[in-house]
Amino acid sequence: MINNFIEKIIKNDNVYIIEYKDEVAIAQSLLFKTDVNEPVNVVCFWSDKEQAIECCKEIWKNYKPTALCLATFIEDYLVNIYNESFIVGIDFNEKMEGIEADPLDVISELIKNLKKQHVNLEFEYFKNLTDLENQLQKLL
């Protein structure tokens, strides 16, 4: 399912978050625990707007979908999620079920697919995809 997510966001050239004011939707991991046995925070992303809208209920009823370009998704979200030791939530449904993934794995899959499709992104903090890939390899 991560590959479907990656293919969709590359095809559409964006990914969705839901947010309220400056707060991004965060869930609790069902799979990953911290060192003190607490659930790890999961920052949620969707490959299409309709799916994101379906999750704007209950605790997220005031949240609205926002589209992010792929470069912003990678640089401003995935890198920070890694730095915070959080997990990426992919295409969660309204029951908060979805794929939980390591942000570095998501970046790696994105790089692989972007290169395969000969898509180049303009980054603010990286020179190009190769630079991003080289920085990623230092972390793995």
pLDDT at 139: 81
Give tens-digit pLDDT for 84-115: 999 999 998 888 788 999 999 999 999 999 99
Alpha carbon of residue 99 to chain centroid: 11
Per-residue pLDDT, averaged over 17-24, amounts to 92
Strand-pair category, 87-90 with 39-45 = parallel
Q: CA 54 to CA 94: how far, in whole Å?
A: 6
Q: Which amino acid is at 138?
A: K
Are 28 and 59 within 8 A, CB to CB?
no
Exposed, middle or buried: residue 112 (CB in 10 Å: 0-12, 13-18, 19+)? middle
Query: For the chain, which domains are there?
Result: 2-139 (3.40.1350.90)
Q: Is 125 helix (H, G, I), strand (E, B) or coil?
A: coil
Per-residue pLDDT, averaged over 110-133, amounts to 91
